Amino acid sequence: MYNYDLSGKNKYYTLYSLIRDDILRGKIKCGEKLPSKRVFAAELGVSVVTVQLAYDQLLAEGYVRSKERSGFFAERVANGLKGRQPSAVKAEEKGEGDKFAIDLVHGNTPPDMFPFSVWARLMRSVLADCGEHLLERVACDGDEQLKRAVAAYLYRSRGIDVDPRYIVVGAGAEHLYGVIVQLLGRDNLYAVENPGYGKISSTYALNGARFLPVNVSGKGIDISVLEKSGAYACHVSPSHQFPTGAVMPVSVRSALIDWTKRSGGYVIEDDYDSEFRLTGKPLQCMCGLCPERVIYMNTFSKSLAPSMRMGYMVLPPALHARFMQIFSSSANFVPLFEQKTLALMLDGGYFERHLNRLKNYYRNIHSELVKKLAALPYRCKLLDTGSGLHVIVKFPDAGSDDKIKAVAAAHGVNIKCLSDYLLAPAEGLDGCAVINYSGLTLDLLSKF
Amino acid sequence: MYNYDLSGKNKYYTLYSLIRDDILRGKIKCGEKLPSKRVFAAELGVSVVTVQLAYDQLLAEGYVRSKERSGFFAERVANGLKGRQPSAVKAEEKGEGDKFAIDLVHGNTPPDMFPFSVWARLMRSVLADCGEHLLERVACDGDEQLKRAVAAYLYRSRGIDVDPRYIVVGAGAEHLYGVIVQLLGRDNLYAVENPGYGKISSTYALNGARFLPVNVSGKGIDISVLEKSGAYACHVSPSHQFPTGAVMPVSVRSALIDWTKRSGGYVIEDDYDSEFRLTGKPLQCMCGLCPERVIYMNTFSKSLAPSMRMGYMVLPPALHARFMQIFSSSANFVPLFEQKTLALMLDGGYFERHLNRLKNYYRNIHSELVKKLAALPYRCKLLDTGSGLHVIVKFPDAGSDDKIKAVAAAHGVNIKCLSDYLLAPAEGLDGCAVINYSGLTLDLLSKF
């Protein structure tokens, strides 16, 4: 029996899926003992670890149970799952957006776009080359080599000349938001963009800081409100605001810098998807304009993979000194192993090659998407700045945002509107769908 | 020239050290160009990546500079470093404790005790077996497989039957302390042990929560103070208090549990070095006594390596539900790669084998240490509970704690006293040295 073909990649996952499907189909009966790991591994020509990983996964999901010293046994399949197609089960394991054929709300870069073989090769190099040095405690602001690689990358890609000493490596954007609160003070007021990315304001709140939503328009954040608010820091995404898609004009950038100088406050420049400018050059970062008052931050979760919890910020020298004072006895949150691998990826040019490939990919998606939108039987206008991985589509005759979402849902499309991202009331945003196309594929688009 | 022998492990580090030492000795002169990476790699029979890592390290430390498109050049050696022995430079790169021949304050497990070849092999297995699945977003409370492996380990090692669902994986103890504040509320009062591990109270403070030092004695924390304080949570280390070394008696454990029931509060059971009970069995965890009111936590930074930022906590079911509510849209901070590797290490029994090896190692260190202490020309008494990696030595005739530290320093030994760990005044702690022997080696001990 167990005539399984594991010749592809990801042997463990393939084996797990094959056994799971056989249990679901009743080919492996309830109570039936699975082969011992050692025997099965020999039979399939894979390592014992592969079988163990597969069994562990089945155990974790409740498809098998384990009996001390006697092995693994197929479990009774829950009533809800019985008779279902294995593929249906798989779809149910996923989240909210998966009820829809097309999810334009969540969406992540397709995993097969990730240069996994390069990454794995660099990991093996790091493992062989660094050896036991990988076990050493990492300085609280990150590995020297990665910091230097990030500085060189920022110089190449964003044209800013950053001293690597002032870079802080962290476990993704959320972690860094929390560090900023610890650094700038919990009692201060943090201005955030409205509408905005909910995670920013919620993370400030979770860290015990007050936040103030300030309206953004095509002209960027409203400085007069900021002025009166007494805010200490202002968190913005000048290169591509989420969700409005606005690119902050240079005049607003300098007005913001002026505000920091008058108020003694800081700008937090969240450059989260600036890599994905599909046409032309991005505007200069604010951090280049005034390194003393701007905290620059970015993450690799969007450009590499959502499981890569790595981001960084460039601190003004005085804040970096404060950081080192607060965290001197702490270790960095990101394993040295991942830091060294990412450093090699940046230094070897692999990251930029990957980004170029991704950008080409998304250019195709974008142009197909534009065609599909033009063919819609509704009057609509694409508000597109050529930056980032989402666009705004205005439907002037829609009536209400709920109507837009309902019509989309009826076609199997999950969508949100600008109004869904409001933290406080704001006018003039009705009838605008936010289309995050980072999870779209040409295949999915062709079905419409 | 460059007649380097890189036949051992850690080629990159060896290469870096050899070049660095040659620059320091003047064998490579200021301005001299280093061989191109490709040529050098071929000459030495190593990969280009190895040379790149070595050059990057030299660059990061300022021994060489890089010129666009022409390569790497030796830098002028800073005046302070000139003429020094390379080994002296290396010692200077380290921290405070390294001014002493023996550091009994900081100390980490010697890196060569880490089963690196097993860890590297498991990493390669995970890389080959999980493939691109490693890029998937990890649930906010951690990877299923690791959670299950931790639960099974807790059952084997601590005899507690934990539902893996309620486990939360985090990036080390400090990260988890912060999560606890987000979970239990920043406005609540957190009781901590006095004297105590400074990182606990400082992390509560950094996260904006108030903490209250409550005196501990051999009888554990003073419940009557706790009672009157209005504290919501009480952070304790029942299996081995730091720094007093006390093991909390069962009577105090049940009194604490009673307190949580009366007050509606929680106990945070920090089991940070319970693995290192060198004789006999540890007492049952408090979490086993009352899973509804006890948050159990532990970390692998102590038992594996300081760079492994992995820890976990077991939450009461109601708190786990709250955790999932707060963090549902967040990804876990620990890379899936490390989580899968650790799961295999636990499931394959490698972790326990490693612990047993470590315990044997420390038993030897401990008994040598006891001999050395007995031979001291001062009256002293060892207060030892057979648990954890530090002991208390009382010097009744010392006069003052400063005297103890000064005498030790004169012998090249870095030491602290119980009074150094006080968060608030407490009596009866004078004359007690805290000896953390986790970084000691037989070699170091033999020199005394």
Q: What is the pLDDT of residues A295-351, one digit of tens each?
A: 999 999 888 887 788 999 999 999 999 999 999 888 899 999 999 999 999 999 999
Triad B80, B84, B90: Cα angle to 5°: 90
A137-151, A399-413, B301-315: least confident range: B301-315
Instruction: Name every chain A residue with its beta carbon within 8 A of the beta carbon of B116.
Output: 131-132, 135
Instruction: Name every chain B residue with its beta carbon within 8 A of the beta carbon of A307.
Output: 134-138, 331, 335-336
Two tokens, residue B440:
């000691």
Is B12's CB within 8 Å of A57's CB?
Answer: no
The interface residues of chain A toward chain B in range 169-198, judged by CB-CB distance below 8 A, are 171-172, 174-175, 178, 182, 186
**What pLDDT is stored for residue B78 in this prediction?**
53
B309 and A CB contact within 8 Å:
yes
A109 has a pLDDT exceeding 90: no
Task: Residue B133: name the closest of A87, A344, A112, A119 by CA.
Answer: A112
Instruction: Name every chain B residue with its beta carbon within 8 A of the beta carbon of A137.
Output: 108, 306-307
B131 and A CB contact within 8 Å:
yes
Asked casually if ipTM beats, i.e. exceeds, 0.95, the reply is no
| Mean of per-residue pLDDT scores for chain B | 87
Containing B251, the helix (H) or strand (E) segment is: helix B250-263
How far B250 CA sits from the closest chain A CA (Å)? 31
Containing A194, the helix (H) or strand (E) segment is: strand A189-194
- More confident: A9 or B306: B306
B56-70, B148-162, B211-225: least confident range: B56-70
Q: Tell me, what DSSP letter sits at residue B247?
A: P
pLDDT tens digits for B181-225?
999 999 999 999 999 999 999 999 989 899 999 999 777 788 999
Indicate which of B309, B310, B354 best probes the interface with A, i.e. most A CBs within 10 Å of its own CB.
B309
Instruction: Name every chain A residue with its beta carbon within 8 A of the beta carbon of B201.
Output: none
pLDDT tens digits for B324-336?
999 988 889 999 9
Q: Which strands sit side by side in the sheet containing A233-236, from one edge to the other? A: A167-170, A311-314, A294-299, A266-270, A233-236, A189-194, A210-217, A220-221
A149 and B CB contact within 8 Å:
yes
Indicate which of A7, A90, A134 best probes the interface with B, i.e. most B CBs within 10 Å of its own CB.
A134
**What pLDDT is stored for residue A60 in this prediction?**
65
What is the full DSSP assignment across B360-396?
HHHHHHHHHHHHHHHTSSS--EEE--S-TTEEEEE-T
Indicate which of B133, B138, B323 best probes the interface with A, i.e. most A CBs within 10 Å of its own CB.
B133
**What pLDDT is stored for residue B79 in this prediction?**
47
The beta-carbon neighbor of A50 closest among B52, B129, B136 is B129
How would residue B360 be classed by pLDDT, with cut points 50, 70 and 90? very high
pLDDT tens digits for B6-57?
665 567 777 887 888 788 777 888 888 898 888 888 888 888 888 887 887 7
A124-138, B65-79, B129-143, B234-248: least confident range: B65-79
How would residue B60 be classed by pLDDT, with cut points 50, 70 and 90? low
pLDDT tens digits for A340-362?
999 999 999 999 999 999 999 99
Instruction: Name every chain A residue with its beta carbon within 8 A of the beta carbon of B348.
Output: 49, 52
Instruction: Name every chain B residue with its beta carbon within 8 A of the beta carbon of A116.
Output: 131-132, 135
Task: Residue B184: name the closest of B298, B329, B291, B326 by CA.
Answer: B326
**What pLDDT is stored for residue B49 in this prediction?**
80
Tell me the mean pLDDT in the region B62-79: 78
Strands (E) located in B233-341: 233-236, 266-270, 294-299, 311-314
**Cα–Cα distance measured from residue A209 to residue A234, given in angstroms and rounded to the nearest whole number:** 13
How would residue A84 be classed by pLDDT, with cut points 50, 70 and 90? very low
B57-66, B215-224, B395-404: least confident range: B57-66
B89 has a pLDDT exceeding 80: no
pLDDT tens digits for B96-147?
556 788 899 987 787 788 888 899 999 999 988 888 888 888 999 999 999 9
Two tokens, residue B388:
């954890």
Is A60's CB within 8 Å of B130's CB?
Answer: no
How would residue B61 be classed by pLDDT, with cut points 50, 70 and 90? low
Is B338's CB within 8 Å of A333's CB?
Answer: no
**What pLDDT is stored for residue B90 in this prediction?**
38
Burial of A272 (0-12, 13-18, 19+ CB in 10 A): buried
The beta-carbon neighbor of A133 closest among B13, B147, B326 is B13
B186: closest chain A residue by CA: A208
| Mean of per-residue pLDDT scores for chain A | 87
**B188 residue type, one letter:** N
**What pLDDT is stored for residue A83 in this prediction?**
41
How would residue B80 be classed by pLDDT, with cut points 50, 70 and 90? very low
Q: What is the CA radius of gyration of chain A?
A: 25
Tell me the mean pLDDT in the region A257-268: 96
Q: Tell me, what DSSP letter sits at residue B81?
A: T
**Cα–Cα distance measured from residue B203 to residue B196, given in angstroms and rounded to the nearest whole number:** 13
B81 has a pLDDT exceeding 50: no
**What pLDDT is stored for residue B353 in this prediction?**
94
Q: By three-state DSSP, how is residue A73 classified?
A: strand
**What pLDDT is stored for residue B70 in this prediction?**
85
**What pLDDT is stored for residue A88 in this prediction?**
35
Instruction: Name every chain A residue with its beta carbon within 8 A of the beta carbon of B111.
Output: 132, 135-136
The interface residues of chain B toward chain A in range 90-119, judged by CB-CB distance below 8 A, are 108, 111-112, 114, 116
Containing A311, the helix (H) or strand (E) segment is: strand A311-314
Tell me the mean pLDDT in the region B403-421: 94
Two tokens, residue A311:
């981001």
**What pLDDT is stored for residue B16 in this prediction?**
81
Triad B307, B312, B316: Cα angle to 5°: 165
**Cα–Cα distance measured from residue A405 to residue A402, given in angstroms and rounded to the nearest whole number:** 5
- More confident: A182 or B81: A182
pLDDT tens digits for A204-232?
998 989 999 999 977 778 899 999 999 99
**What pLDDT is stored for residue B446 in this prediction?**
87
How far B60 CA sits from the closest chain A CA (Å)? 6
How would residue A87 be classed by pLDDT, with cut points 50, 70 and 90? very low
Two tokens, residue B101:
């021949």
**What pLDDT is stored for residue A94 in this prediction?**
42
Task: Tell which phi-psi region holds residue B344, choosing left (phi > 0), alpha (psi between -120 and 50) or beta.
Answer: alpha
**Cα–Cα distance measured from residue A374 to residue A382, given in angstroms and rounded to the nearest whole number:** 9
Tell me the mean pLDDT in the region A18-23: 82
Block residue for tokens 């109570």: A31
